[in-house]
Structure 1
Amino acid sequence: MLNPQIDPLGESRDQKGTDASRRNFLKSIAAASGGLVIAMYLPGCSKTENAAKNAGPAKIIEANAWLRIGTDGAITVLCDRSEMGQGVYTALPTLIAEELGVSPESIRIEFAPPGAAYVNSLLGAQVTGGSTSVRDAWEKLRMAGAEARTRLATVAASNWGVPASRCSVADGYVVFTSRRASFGELAEAAAALPKPETITPIAKDQYRFIGKPQKRLDTPSKVDGSAQFGIDVRLPEMLYAALAQAPELGATVESFDAEKAKTLPGVKHVVQTSAGVAVIADSWWQAKTARDAVAIKWKSGPNAKLSNAAIYAGLKTAAAGQGKEVRNEGDAQMGLRGAVKRVDAVYELPMLAHATLEPQNCTVEFKDGNCHVYAPTQVQQLAQAVAAQTAGLPPEKVLVHTTFLGGGFGRRLDVDFIPPAVECAKAAGKPVKLLWTREDDTTHDKYRPPARNSCSAALDSQGNLTTFKLQLVAPSITSRWAPAVVKDIVDPFAIEAAHNYPYAAANVRVDYVQHEIGIDVGYWRSVSHALNCFTVESFMDEVAVAAGKDPYQFRHDLLEKQPRWQAVLDATAKKAQWGRVAEGRHQGIALMSGYDTYLAMVAEVSMAGNKLQVHKIVCAIDCGQMVNPDIVRAQAEGSIIFGLTAALYDDINIAGGKVAEQNFNDYRLMRINEVPAVEVYLLESNEKPGGMGEPVVALVAPAICNAIYAANKKRLRTLPVVKQGIVV
């Protein structure tokens, strides 16, 4: 069970949001009365449409994301990042609230529409991913709030004939001694001012909200049921669609007979779409039942003979080819030739599904010449573009309404579920909600890439590491998703947790061999950190054993010039009582830095024959300055459970072009009674914020497998654990 007694930082809750109307937002800007809009670059959130109607329209200062203060005093943040449980709905408004001297609960939140103004500067697109939301917003949102505060104080000071520096803000007012004026009173005049020459955000020692536990703002709506996820969307006269997709990956519809399906209750249309055959009916169950009655003849594609055996054989063959240099220091080949002791190992990683609890879905309505897309998406611009192409409309005629996401994990960076929904709505002439089954979701995912990674190390006569060599072989997700980004460079999302190898060695060589496997692969929570951290940290344990040294001490001694790495390693070892566990318990350790966050983990396990029990996971984290420690802790705990599920139980298996796993009975999730004690320690830091949505996931597998080796001296070089002769 989770251990709330460790480093208590207060309780953690969540708050409300439905999708916002882009049209009403634009109307509000164009209206005649006054208000204040401060441009900013914001990673994302949402609240009700009424916020746009109630807030006074405003003069636009810059075209980017917006902080809006209406003449009624309402403060609205238009957020351009999707909320999928990671907490941006709370963290991002907190940055604005701090600068304006108001509580985060008083901020109104809306999702941003698609637009170049909302591009994530760390990723170069309008994307929620890569653990970038707070990292990208940290400076921009605080500066946006500080600019608004400066303008408001300047107007009030001018009215009162006092220095602006003597004025402060509190609870929606500018204050000087006994005088005070509301933000609403000052907003219109503040908007007319030129941009201040000097904008100074509040100093850390004056923070009221940042760095302190705050209740999550989306919890009440999720408790009372008012939160709107994609699956919750209801529109007048809406129909439902179920999509039959090819059982064999890459197959297409050759012909189909829908006569029987058309006779079933509620059926309105049977439509061939770009993704298969869809049945549209009055209810989803009617649509699904009729879908199963459609007789479809499928035409095989290039993946008819695809199998896991063929995929891994291809990776092995590719390993003999020339890779792209990622890192080269000293002379690794010479170092290996001169080794007193040499260690070599090959690690293979499986494909994995995202397994979001909310299956893929999209609701589309054509209305007043526009195409309205209601979708749980991580990529609003891309969703708009693909919907526009499918509908035959210019992008500005496609209005994307972002909902809460019932899990993302990278799956909703793809938009394959949107075109068939558009096609269905266009054919029906009414709003249509397309909903995938769990089986659809599992068998037509964009899986985490498989990988085959080879490691070599050289030790001198004292057991000191002199050489480290790593070859990564895997497909490139970015080559499909954003080919222009990696046209002339190594895919940065394929070499994470490898290019920044931290351990001191005279000779270091890292290469990447890109090998495609015939199907599209996708970004999966932590991306290549999970692949490469498992390889590097498992191998470092092997090297420590070969050197005759304690795995923790071996790492510690190689990190003298890496203080942040060493600090989290030492903190984790101390909190986990490394080497001092009860008889029959064994520990494994792992270390990583990803997305500007430094973290280490210790797993504590026991083995009775081949039966494994995971008793405890201890993790220490330095993620720089934290906006909300409760959310950081929740992210870490959730990531550990997510990582445990993958490490212990899951992989995707393909034979004859068909995916074997179908549902949660054979693609297993961890049950609540199986979760070990989890202890998370957050290190204080003055560094800029690091990402927290993903990196912790990557440490779980190597920590567990290193602990298994400590218990039974069996080295696991592939996953999941349950397929390596171990019972969990």
Structure 2
Amino acid sequence: MNTPQTPDIHSPAGAPFTATRRGFLAGAGAALVVGFTLPHAGRALAAEASFTPNAWLRITPDNRITVVCGSSEMGQGVLTAIPQLMAEELDADWANVRVEQAPANTAFNNPAFGMQATGGSTTVRGHWDVMRNAGATARAMLVAAAAEQWKVPAAECRTEAGQVIHGSKKLSYGALAEAAAKQKPPEKVALKDPKDFKIVGQRKARLDTAGKTNGSAKYGIDVDLPGMLVAVMARAPLPGAKVAKLDDSKAKAVKGVKQVIALPTGVAVLATGYWAAKKGRDALELYWDLGANTGLNSAKVTAMLTEGASTASAVALQTGSADAKGAKTVEATYEVPYLAHACMEPMNCTAWVKPDGVEIWAGTQSQGPVQGILSQVASVDPGKVKVNTMMLGGGFGRRFAPDFVIDATLLSKISGAPVKLIYTREDDMAAGFYRPASVAKFSGGLSADGKATVLNAGVGSPSIMDASGFMKIPENGVDSFAMEGIADHPYNIANQRLAYGRKEPGPTVWFWRSVGHSQNIFFMESFIDEMAAAAGKDPYQFRRALLDKQPRYKQVLEVAAQKAGWGKPLPAGVFRGIAVAQSFGSYVAEVVEVSVNPDGSPKVHRVVAAVDCGMTVNPAIIERQIEGGIVFGLTAALYGKITLKDGRVEQGNFHDYPVLRHHEMPKVEVHIVKSTEKPGGIGEPGTPPIAPAVANALFAATGKRLRSLPFDTEQLKKA
């Protein structure tokens, strides 16, 4: 039996960081901030006479409480959740709380990573103790200042809504700011019992909503600097491609084009504006030598990954007997394609290499690593690299990559001007970083009474760990991203062999929302459903019986089934499917209701999700993230695929890489399971269960198993 513990805080994708000196961690600085009076970086941000007890908090005499957030806001709500954590222990008046985006500085390192970066659904769980301790420390200093002024014991004072109170006497935090700044921070503070929370756990309105609706919020693509040039690149189609022939004369003839610069990753056209740069780029006469990827196509990718799955020898988990057989055998092979991130805001970065340093403006998930990388690109000290973190118009792991900031900085360095590099949608789609394609071969055994007794799986997939440049594949050869969701599945099955077969077809692979769980939960939960069908068991009850030692899995499964009315009649032609998963420390079960249109296309009517993410900060944000994860995963299940022909990606924009439309959106119900466990992540866990839940419902509707994504509607057409 596999009985995984709740995982430790993980990387942008969920696997533990094993940082090396190579790749983009070089020079990034990875000191973990655990003290609350150490970081003096915050003092540089402080107004005169303000109270700045640590890097994350500033209280000014006008009663404004400013929380500085080191994590990137890409829609997941960190600019609200982090202030809620601080404000709770501070006993702040929420109406006076503001938030600022932090500069790149080790003082703002994500405790989960040991560097300033956002990913792996780690912000809240990584900062849960840090921000609470910071708020409690500041509150203790404010109380000490008031007690000293009133000449009373600090223990007799209390705090409430931004005030220190003693009997009938009250002083606001703003009035105490200057005096509190002179207090010595306590070495240890007591944190609140969660039952006493007044701000954490509440549906507070998001602090970034106003800026996003009135246009004052600035994204990377909004940046405009005096003398700035705009760059558009003809990017290398796949890794290893080299320029075989280039004629830039027509590009240089386009009005507004100033320079054409060749980089290792492609050829850039720099102009006075975007359209001139794009026209110039399109006018390039450019021929590529695709090298080893010449002739690469999707059929070859499938063949390579199928071989990897068939010969998988890097064992991630083995229990019981390797030769065990069941009374009945079930076998299935599954496949998923490469997927693009398709962020609504295409990749962009504005860089300005000056004589005394570098300044960039970018929506990045990796400020710390970027600071280290660009110090090398521009040959300056990391402290001379200023990173202005803009709002991110979607991240999903894509903006953890450094490609767009490196190229923008190189272009500024070579051109001598500030440069805004913008990827067109087609550039980003066709030369980007992809969720790995993957093939999984499963075999399972059932006892005579229908219990699962054997589970074998081989997974053929490229390695994200190796592609990342900052993680090392362990000696056992198992890329943990390629196996997460399978190697740590919860089901009580006695005999198992779960193995990885690495294959590298060519395209760059990268972190994608929920990473390995996004494909592996589809594989795992589809196969468990197949075993249930072969056993003649109800798929919900079959799972439930295998979760006797996994109470959190079992609870969300039960809640989702109960709230969805599992087993109760549905309208004619509508059928249910179910799936459950744990990712990033959170447990999610989803039940879907599906029908099939005459043309074979599925219609998802309703999704009922149960989530146990431990202690919660903002239920409204949790609900929105589960909904968003469902949309993301459903889009991939219905439409998502990056295919290859003659060494090039075939997709270019939303016409051939569609996303879920408004009229296709199902009704979504999110039920949060109350928990006293430590917080789990929430940005990604809603994604993994949706594809298998739909696939399982389609089997219930049609009797046909769809084992590859996106769903092949031809198989579902009614005769």
Give me the TM-score of the superposition, normalised by structure 1.
0.89
Q: Which residue of 1 aligns with 2:45?
A: 52
Partners of 1:248 and 1:656 within 8 A in 2: no
- Tell me how far 1:607 sits from its aligned partner: 2.3
Could you tell which deviates more after superposition, 426-435 or 487-496?
487-496
AA in 2 matched with 1:52:
L
Q: Which residue of 2 aligns with 1:597?
A: 586
Q: 1:144 aligns with which of 105, 121, 134?
A: 134
Partners of 2:557 and 2:589 within 8 A in 1: yes
- Tell me how far 1:712 sits from its aligned partner: 0.7
CA distance in 2, matches of 1:653, 1:55: 58
Q: 1:631 aligns with which of 621, 631, 645?
A: 621
Q: 1:673 aligns with which of 655, 663, 673?
A: 663
- Tell me how far 1:537 sits from its aligned partner: 0.4
* 1:393 and 2:380 correspond: yes
Partners of 1:93 and 1:104 within 8 A in 2: no
Q: Which residue of 1 aligns with 2:492?
A: 504
CA 1:55–1:98: 2 relative to 1, 3 Å:
farther
AA in 1 matched with 2:509:
V
* 1:537 and 2:525 correspond: yes
AA in 2 matched with 1:606:
S
Q: Which residue of 1 aligns with 2:343?
A: 356
AA in 2 matched with 1:545:
A
Partners of 2:219 and 2:363 within 8 A in 1: yes
Q: Which residue of 1 aligns with 2:548?
A: 560
Q: 2:577 aligns with which of 566, 588, 593?
A: 588
* 1:109 and 2:107 correspond: no
CA distance in 2, matches of 1:51, 1:589: 52
CA distance in 1, matches of 2:397, 2:435: 9
| CA displacement 1:83-120 (0-9 Å, x = unmatched) | 00000011110111111222345233232333444333
Q: Which residue of 2 aligns with 1:279?
A: 269
Partners of 1:364 and 1:431 within 8 A in 2: yes
Secondary structure class of the residue paired with 2:125: helix
Q: 2:361 aligns with which of 374, 378, 381?
A: 374
CA distance in 2, matches of 1:617, 1:202: 36
Secondary structure class of the residue paired with 2:680: coil
Q: Which residue of 1 aligns with 2:509?
A: 521
Secondary structure class of the residue paired with 1:560: coil
AA in 2 matched with 1:709:
F
CA distance in 1, matches of 2:515, 2:38: 28
Could you tell which deviates more after superposition, 606-615 or 569-578?
606-615
CA 1:119–1:662: 2 relative to 1, 3 Å:
same
CA distance in 1, matches of 2:38, 2:495: 45
Secondary structure class of the residue paired with 2:507: coil
CA 1:102–1:216: 2 relative to 1, 3 Å:
same
Partners of 2:46 and 2:52 within 8 A in 1: no
* 1:300 and 2:290 correspond: yes
CA distance in 2, matches of 1:145, 1:522: 36
- Tell me how far 1:566 sits from its aligned partner: 1.2
Alignment map for 1:301-700 (pairs within 5 Å) = 301-331=291-321, 333-336=322-325, 339-367=326-354, 369-488=356-475, 490-580=478-568, 581-609=570-598, 610-700=600-690
Alignment map for 1:123-134 (pairs within 5 Å) = 123-134=113-124
Alignment map for 1:209-220 (pairs within 5 Å) = 209-220=199-210
- Tell me how far 1:223 sits from its aligned partner: 0.7
Could you tell which deviates more after superposition, 121-130 or 132-141?
121-130
Q: 2:57 aligns with which of 67, 78, 92?
A: 67
* 1:256 and 2:249 correspond: no
- Tell me how far 1:73 sits from its aligned partner: 4.6
CA 1:544–1:39: 2 relative to 1, 3 Å:
farther
Q: Which residue of 1 aligns with 2:7?
A: none
AA in 2 matched with 1:531:
Q
CA distance in 1, matches of 2:334, 2:99: 46
Could you tell which deviates more after superposition, 569-578 or 389-398?
389-398
- Tell me how far 1:594 sits from its aligned partner: 1.1
Q: Which residue of 2 aligns with 1:26?
A: none
- Tell me how far 1:249 sits from its aligned partner: 5.0
- Tell me how far 1:724 sits from its aligned partner: 5.4
RMSD: 2.3
AA in 2 matched with 1:677:
K
Q: Which residue of 1 aligns with 2:31?
A: none
CA distance in 1, matches of 2:79, 2:148: 35
AA in 1 matched with 2:684:
E
AA in 2 matched with 1:114:
A
CA distance in 2, matches of 1:482, 1:154: 48
Partners of 1:249 and 1:657 within 8 A in 2: no
CA distance in 1, matches of 2:364, 2:116: 11
- Tell me how far 1:181 sits from its aligned partner: 3.0
Secondary structure class of the residue paired with 1:319: helix
Partners of 1:66 and 1:78 within 8 A in 2: yes
Partners of 1:96 and 1:141 within 8 A in 2: yes
CA 1:463–1:487: 2 relative to 1, 3 Å:
closer
- Tell me how far 1:473 sits from its aligned partner: 2.2
CA distance in 2, matches of 1:459, 1:188: 71
Q: Identity across aligned pairs (percent)?
A: 44
Secondary structure class of the residue paired with 1:669: coil
AA in 2 matched with 1:163:
P
AA in 2 matched with 1:583:
A
Partners of 1:591 and 1:601 within 8 A in 2: yes
Instruction: Please list every run of 5 or more consecutive structure 2 residues that lacks an aligned counterpart in the other structure.
Output: 1-34
CA distance in 1, matches of 2:226, 2:158: 48
Secondary structure class of the residue paired with 1:122: coil
CA 1:50–1:66: 2 relative to 1, 3 Å:
closer
AA in 1 matched with 2:293:
N
AA in 2 matched with 1:341:
K
Aligned length: 679
Secondary structure class of the residue paired with 1:573: helix
Alignment map for 1:186-225 (pairs within 5 Å) = 186-225=176-215
Alignment map for 1:170-181 (pairs within 5 Å) = 170-181=160-171
Q: Which residue of 1 aligns with 2:32?
A: none
- Tell me how far 1:680 sits from its aligned partner: 1.3
- Tell me how far 1:430 sits from its aligned partner: 2.3
CA distance in 1, matches of 2:458, 2:181: 56
CA 1:484–1:704: 2 relative to 1, 3 Å:
closer
| CA displacement 1:570-618 (0-9 Å, x = unmatched) | 1111111112222221111101111111111111111245342221111
CA distance in 2, matches of 1:543, 1:396: 57
Alignment map for 1:89-100 (pairs within 5 Å) = 89-100=79-90
Instruction: Please list every run of 5 or more consecutive structure 1 residues that lacks an aligned counterpart in the other structure.
Output: 1-36, 42-48
